Structures are given as structure tokens and as C-alpha cells.
A = this chain, B = another copy of it.
């Protein structure tokens, strides 16, 4: 019955048999069968449904509440037993924005998996706004603390950015000596939902807010970096993305005396975000501790 209950919870969570089936790696027909069976065992209707709509019945709500607790208690019991006996196993689904994931997270994974060979990691390098509540993701790595109070976060590292362009670009365009100069340059922008994009710069004397624009936008930093290297324009990217290119002279840092930010309200720091749970998956904790250990002791600073 617990298995059917877990399936039921997933169906309600996703509002769809098909979506739940995907997440559970089951055929939709099997999910349908499981819900039918559960309803038969309970002798009640849990869900009113048509091909496009699911509604929880009153009884279904009662059962959902009760079974959430039951499943949580069961998981806790299992975890408390297995924590004492078994090496960590199971899966972790991680979402991280593309460039950070590729450059900073992926290289750390093999050592983690060597240490815990029974854990599987499924990583998704994706710049879309991930909804931990709505998707089957255990933890996400994102810039800025989430506003959703049901999520917890741990700071991984400070994400200082800097503004830079290629020497070729700079030699062909007006000098960038103060923040306002940026508004007359071709600034390559990380995609944002807002119509107008501003870069924020601070120094010991004042804060600047500059309206910037350009002819290339991207959700991820990689295409912008590539374009900047080829002299297309000015970028504001994370230090860890550009450090090597700056050292090689392929990119030049502008406005060195200023601290730059992509968002007004956000420090731009990198956080690992995960859902609050009374009985959290211990693998999440393992991985977070591992990341923090690495980021606080290795080259990513």
C-alpha cells in the first residue's frame, strides 16, 4: 500500500498521471492502474479526473494529508536504519546553471562518486528558473538566495563578477573610464525577464546604476564569453569564468576600481538550494557538505 501511496502523492504533486509517470519511470497505464487499485482498497474515490484535469476529492485530501505523514515516517524509519548500516546509495538530481555546472561542478563529481559508488547523480545544466517544488530535483545551484521560504540554502561561494572586453574591441571603441560610459558600448547581456537591463557598480565613494544594451543576449554566460573573446562587445561575467582569459591577455578587465553586480538586490553569490523536509535525503547533505568542503579549500573562491 505504501508504494501505491507514494505514487498517489506524486500524481497529486504533479497534477497529472503522465507527468507523475515520467518522474517515476513508469508507464502512464501503470500509474492509472495503481491509483485504481488504491481507490479500490480504500473503497473511496481519491481523484476526479478527465483527460486534462485532476481534482482531489474531499476524501482524497484527507488521504493525501495522512499519507504524506505516513510516507515521511516510513522514510525516516528507513533512513534511520540505513544510516546506521549501509553506505550511502540512491540518486541525486542536481540542477545548476550551465557554465558554473560545467566548469565547477562537473569536475568535482567523479571524486564524489568514487567516494560513494552507490550514489547516482543526474545533473542538469540548465539556465532556466528551476522550480524545486514542481520538479523532481533534489538540489539546485543558483545565484542569489531564493525567495521561496520553503527552500533552504547554503552559500557555496562569492560570485564576484567583472566587466571586461577583448583588447581588439577596446582598441576600436571609446575608452571605458567610468560606469556611465558603458551605456554607449555594445554590452552582451545575460538574458533576463526585464525589458531593460542595468548593471550595478559600487566603489568606496558611490553606487552606479547603468542602463546597458547590446546585440547579443544569452541565458548562459558561455556564448557571451565566446563573443567577447571575438571582440563583439563588453561582458559582465563571473571571475572564475574569465580569470584564465584575462591572464592570457585575451580579455581586459574594465573599471577595475569598481565592484560590479548583475542585480541590484543580490550580491550575486552562489547558493546551493534544496527543499526543506523533516526527513531530508541524507545524500543531499552529503553532497552539499562535499561541495562546501571543495569550494572553501580549492581554487574556486
Contacts and interface: CB of A to CB of B under 8 A. Distances in A.
Contact of A43 (B69, B70, B73, B82): B82
Interface stretch (A59-67, A136-144, A223-231): A59-67
A78 interface: yes
17 contacts: A1-B3, A2-B2, A42-B81, A43-B81, A43-B86, A44-B82, A59-B81, A59-B85, A62-B80, A63-B81, A66-B73, A66-B76, A66-B77, A67-B77, A69-B73, A70-B73, A70-B74
Contacts of A50: none
A84 interface: yes
A3 to B, nearest CB: 7
A81 B66 CA distance: 10
Contacts of A78: 42
A175 B81 CA distance: 74
B59 A77 contact: no
A70 B2 CA distance: 11
Nearest to A60: B81
